[in-house]
Amino acid sequence: MKIPNRDYTPEFRELAFKRVRDGKSISAVAKELDLVNQPLKSRLQKRASPQESVLVARKSLPQGI
């Protein structure tokens, strides 16, 4: 049985991005929001600026970017 994809609001996606930007690790944010790490990381990399995408690869964004 295939598990259906979950639809997330833009506000929910912004919340996840903001939490990582504020210094939480992607795995911590994924766990808090009941998400899977890799899709969250991929989404963050697509959304991030070139400078931020390097930091997403390291699993967190520094505050103030």
Q: What is the pLDDT of residue 32?
A: 93
The burial class, CB within 10 Å (0-12 / 13-18 / 19+), for 40 is: buried
Q: What is the pLDDT of residue 10?
A: 87
- Rounded distance between C-alpha atoms, residue 22 and residue 8, angstroms: 20
The answer to whether 61 and 20 are in contact (CB under 8 A) is: yes
pLDDT tens sequence for the chain (65 residues): 666 777 788 899 889 988 988 888 889 999 999 888 888 888 888 877 766 666 666 655 445 54
Q: What is the pLDDT of residue 60?
A: 52
Whether pTM > 0.75 for this model: the answer is no
